[in-house]
Amino acid sequence: MQKGKQNFAAGSATGAAPALDHGAIAQDPGKATSPGLFCKELATQFRVRPGEIALLRLEKDLLKFIFPEHLKTAGAIPVSSSSAVAAHTAMTKKVELFNNFVKVRHANIFEAVKASGGDEAPPEQPPIQKLMSAPVMNAERKVLGVIQVSRKGYDLNSAGQDFTLDDLQQLEAAAENLSKMPFIKEG
């Protein structure tokens, strides 16, 4: 196992995921009627910037960004990619947590895409230092997409606190709520 990486079995990080205990997504998943609203609420829940949330929908063996907005036209990730964490998450159907992500071999092409303004990202984006990734699956365990939460910074300390197993369980619960939303099923 690579240093800074923790993998967890498909279905649950440490057993049944508890219900989210804060945020509108936990109280009423139906409130998030768009990918942007869902991801902004998730960003608030995890105390990250909206640009540190990525939501990808699986369409014909390609993972396509549906959030953040500036990545929608940046390309797609083949699920067969051996260097993309999102593809690995989709293929294995397992949640993943990396608190030292810069040491993990990964495709970083999308980190270089600049946001087109707004409050999604600072003008000069630091790299992802910490990352959680969860598959979004329907009731039949078919992968619909992947949701990722990151913490960016110029080093581990500037990126903020490490993600915890509780955070991973909350992301897993959010992915379950997300699987019921129409915008993840489109495509």
Average pLDDT, whole number, for the chain?
80
Average of pLDDT values for 135-161? 95
Average of pLDDT values for 170-185? 94
Instruction: Please tell me the distance from the alpha carbon of residue 57 to that of residue 184, in angstroms, as a whole number.
Output: 6
Average of pLDDT values for 87-116? 75
Of 89 and 15, the one with more pLDDT: 89
Q: How is residue 60 written in tokens?
A: 């014909």
Instruction: Please tell me the distance from the alpha carbon of residue 56 to that of residue 84, in angstroms, as a whole number.
Output: 12
Backbone angles phi, psi at 147, to 5 degrees: -115, 135
pLDDT at residue number 58:
97
pLDDT at residue number 75:
82
Per DSSP, what are the bridge partners of residue 149? Answer: 53, 132
Contacts of 14 (CB under 8 A, 6+ apart): 8, 165, 169
CATH superfamily to which 5-12+23-185 belongs: GAF domain (3.30.450.40)
Spans of all domains in the chain: 5-12+23-185
Of 25 and 128, the one with more pLDDT: 128
Percent of the chain with pLDDT over 70: 71
* Amino acid code (one letter) for 144: L
Q: How is residue 167 written in tokens?
A: 């955070």
Query: Which among 178, 177, 187, 182 has a CA at the least distance from the CA of 62?
Result: 187
* Amino acid code (one letter) for 49: R
Give the global pTM: 0.79
- Contact between 105 and 88 under an 8 Å Cβ cutoff? The reply is no
Average of pLDDT values for 162-172? 96
Of 20 and 56, the one with more pLDDT: 56
- Contact between 50 and 68 under an 8 Å Cβ cutoff? The reply is yes
